[in-house]
Amino acid sequence: MPAVVLVGAQWGDEGKGKATDLLGRRVDYVVKFNGGNNAGHTVVIEQTDGSTEKYALHLLPSGILTPSCTPVIGNGVVVDLEVLFSEIDALEARGVDTSRLIISANAHIITPYHRTIDRVTERFLGKKKIGTTGRGVGPAYADKINRMGIRVQDLLDERLLREKVEAALVQKNQLLVKLYNQRAIDPDEVADHLLSFAGRVRPMIRDVARELNDALDAGKVVLFEGAQAHHLDVDHGTYPYVTSSNPIAAGACTGSGVGPTRIDRVVGIAKAYTTRVGEGPFPTELFDANGEFLRKVGTEYGTTTGRPRRCGWLDVVIGRYATRINGVTDFVVTKLDVLTGLDEVPICVAYDVDGVRHNEMPVNQSDFHHAKPIYETMPGWWEDITGCRTFEDLPENARAYILRVEELIGARVSAIGVGPGRDAIIVRHDLLGQD
C-alpha cells in the first residue's frame, strides 16, 4: 500500500487540512513531519444532523479527527508541550478521542525561552522583520542545529533535562540581559515547567521511524502531512521569508525516518488563487477590490495568527517550481468556489523582470522580488458550484480553468475543492489508487 506525501504548493493555507482529513478516512497513519504550532489547519466536519463542526488544529495532525487513523508527530516537528496539551484538552472537551496520538522520542521541544527570544529578536529587526509568529519555532530549530536542543525523550531523565536547560541558558541569558534588556530566565523554572508535562507525554513516546516502517511492511497506508508549504521551505522557498524547516516532500523522509524509496505519491495542494501571510515577495498580490473580494469571500484570515492574508491571482510559475522540487504527481486545487461571480479570472503564466520575460522561477531572490506578473485571462462563471460532485457538474468555464491550470502547472489536477464542507470536493483521480 502507498506512502503518500501531502505538501502545500504555495505559501501555506492552501487547504492541506481538508485534503488530509479527506484522505485520513482511508489511511492508517497520518504523520506531521515538520514545523510546530506556527501554522494551522481548519477542518470543517458535517454532523449527522446536517450541522457543521469547525476544528482549528495547530500542532496536532489532521488525522486526529479520524477514529480509524493513528496520528503521529514525527522527529522533524518542534513541540510546544503547553500548546499540545491545550489542543488535546480542547478536542477531548468536544468529544474527540485523542488517545491514539504518538510522538517521536527525537522530536525537539519549544521551551519558554525559545518563545521569548523569538519575540524580542523579531522586534529588534524593525523594518527588516521576517514576519515570524513569535511562537519560538525558529529558535527551537536553531538550537537543534546547534546541538543545544531539548528533545521529548529528555523528559524521561530529569537530571539530564536540567543540565541541558542550564547549558542552553548560559549564552541566552547574556543576550537577553545585555543586548535585549530583558530579565534573565531561571533554568529551574523552565525545567520544572517542562517536567510538569512528563507524566502525560510519556505514554505517547515512540520510536516513530521503526513504527512507520513496520506499518509500511505490513501493507498499511501512511500519509505524510506537511505543515507550511513549499515556498516557505528554508532551502527552496523565498528566503529569508521562510520557515525554519523543510516542508517539501523530501522533508517527510528526514522528519519521520522513512526512506525516499518508500514514497509512492506526492500530492500538491494549491488554492485556485494565491494567498500569503507574513512578509516577503508576492508577484500576484492584489491591492484593489479584487484582492478584497478574494479575502472576504475566501475568509482569508490565518488559522493560527488571525492575520489577514495577502491575496492574489493564481501563479503557475511558483506552481511549476513546486511541482519540480517536490516531484508532485497529483494536485488538489481548493476553493474554486471563491472565484464564482468574476467576469474574468487571470492566471499568472510568467514574470516580467526589468523587461525580460521569465517563464520559470528566477534564479535569484532579487529578480523574484522585482517580478511583475504576466497574465493569461480565462472567462469566469456565475453558477453556484458548491453542490458539484463530478467534474462534469462544473460550468464549462470552470472546467476550462481547471484544465488550463493542469496544463500549465505540469501535473494532473486530481481533486477540486468547491466549498468549505468536508464533502465539498470533486475527485477526478483516486489519490490512493493506481489510476
Using an 8 Å Cβ cutoff, are 344 and 388 in contact? Answer: no
CATH number, span 3-102+207-427: 3.90.170.10
Other beta carbons less than 10 A from residue 142's beta carbon = 15
Segment 33-44 shows an average pLDDT of 76
pLDDT at 316 over 80: yes
Report the alpha-carbon distance of residue 26 to residue 366 in Å, rounded: 44
Higher local confidence (pLDDT), 36 or 324: 324
Question: Catalytic one among 13, 154, 233, 337?
Answer: 13
108-203: what CATH class? mainly alpha
- Boundaries of every domain in the chain: 3-102+207-427, 108-203
**Amino acid symbol at 400:** A
pLDDT at 2 over 80: yes
First to last CA, the chain: 14
Question: What is the pLDDT, as a whole number, of residue 432?
Answer: 85
Question: What is the pLDDT, as a whole number, of residue 226?
Answer: 87
Report the alpha-carbon distance of residue 78 to residue 290 in Å, rounded: 37
Which residues lie closer than 8 Å to 428 by C-beta, 6 or more apart? 391, 412, 413, 414, 415, 416
Residue 367: CA atoms inside 13 Å, Cβ hemisphere, count? 15
pLDDT band at 22, cuts 50/70/90?
low
SS3 337: helix
Dihedral in degrees, nearest 10, Cα atoms 83, 89, 90, 94: 160
pLDDT tens-digit profile of 40-91?
A: 666 666 565 666 677 778 889 888 888 889 999 999 999 999 999 999 999 9
pLDDT tens-digit profile of 359-393?
A: 999 999 899 999 999 999 999 999 999 999 999 99
Backbone dihedral region of 288: left (phi > 0), alpha (psi from -120 to 50 degrees) or beta?
beta
The three-point CA angle 151-153-157 to 5° equals 110
The cell for 105 is 522520542
pLDDT tens-digit profile of 100-153?
A: 999 999 999 999 999 999 888 877 666 666 556 678 899 999 999 999 999 999
Question: What is the pLDDT, as a whole number, of residue 126?
Answer: 63
Question: What is the pLDDT, as a whole number, of residue 435?
Answer: 60
What single DSSP character describes residue 59? Answer: S
Which residues lie closer than 8 Å to 83 by C-beta, 6 or more apart? 37, 58, 59, 135
Question: Catalytic one among 21, 41, 230, 315?
Answer: 41
Residue corresponding to grid cell 529558535: 139
Decide if 41 is catalytic: yes
pLDDT tens-digit profile of 174-206?
A: 988 988 888 999 999 999 999 999 999 999 999
Decide if 13 is catalytic: yes
Segment 382-407 shows an average pLDDT of 97
Using an 8 Å Cβ cutoff, are 230 and 10 in contact? Answer: yes
